[in-house]
Homo-oligomer: A and B are copies of this chain.
Amino acid sequence: MAVYTHLGAEDLADLISHYDVGTLVSAKGIAEGVSNSNWLIETDRARYILTMYERRIELDDLPFFLGLLDHLSAAGCPVPRTIHDREGRGWRDYDGKAIALIEFLPGVSVDRPTPGQAHAVGAALAELHHASADYPGSRSNDLRPRDWRDLFGRCGQDLTSIDPRLSGLIDRHMPDLLEHWPEDLPRTVIHADLFPDNVLMLGDRVGGLIDFYFACNDFAAYDVAVTHAAWSFDASGAHYRQDVGSALIAGYESARPLSPAERAALPLLARGAAMRFAATRAFDWLHTPDDALVTRKDPMDFARRLEFYAEAGDAPFAPAT
């Protein structure tokens, strides 16, 4: 969470002069985004988020991400539109980095979602899965079970320094996930990272779904599993909030009922979702320099979720009675 690049008023005014958005009135660097810098920009007409992509690696995927915002927004999803410049481009080069201007959406991220909020998020996710099905862009998921295994492999013996239990958990579940990961569930473009941070709530209503930088083509039910793991626990993962988890699934099914095959896969997919975040967090834990401007996140928060899902079986995903 940081702003990595300084942009003064002159730089910002020059940047937005390439867009038909009015005159700059205010600009604040905002503490969001891990590898991007973001500014909340106000003009005499409206507010926008200006994002600077600090890493080269993301550039190739930018047309996919920014086009997806436009596609979902046009379909009525609460997703910020990409603002195109006067030449029609969705992003511009600025000093060797890509920048994009996107719509500002109101709303606040909750820490302790209510069942009502979880229901609304589930429904919004289902609508997103409907709307993204005919998005022409495609991007493969580069964080699938093999990739988690490889990330853990690159951590090696250092995993023990995070927590001595972590290696055992990986040994116990990783082979099963690799062997039994589904191959033929319904696919669409998924968000793949729909944590409360990435949902702007207005009371019980979803005001915005943001931060699509992990979006990819994969199983809709895997996205349900990721969202369930992200919303239905306290931060440490030690406590499952059944009312929230059930409301999330019920909300999802209010707009897109799960097929029997999807429901049957959810316990495994949820273990996988927990493993995916344990893997990236463990890797980042060991590879984030001490002077980085980001806060490291504890992989054990998701190791605990993994244990929960392994023990709970299909109970969290049983149809409402």
Contacts and interface: CB of A to CB of B under 8 A. Distances in A.
A241 to B, nearest CB: 14
B29 A30 contact: yes
Nearest to A24: B108
Interface residues of A, number: 34
A108 B26 contact: yes
A184 interface: no
Interface in A193-239: 200-202
Interface stretch (A9-17, A126-134, A147-155): A9-17
Contact of A31 (B31, B201, B291): B31
Contact of A108 (B3, B9, B110): B9
Given A290-B291, A291-B291, A28 B9 contact: no
A291 B3 CA distance: 16
Q: How many copies of this chain does the complex contain?
A: 2
Given A9-B108, A111-B11, A40 B28 contact: yes
A245 to B, nearest CB: 19
A135 to B, nearest CB: 28
| Residue of A28, A31, A42, A111 with most partner-chain B CB within 10 A | A31
Given A32-B29, A40-B40, A202-B25, A293 B108 contact: no
A116 interface: no
Nearest to A109: B9
A257 interface: no
Interface of A: 1-3, 6, 8-13, 24-32, 40, 42, 106-112, 200-202, 290-291, 293
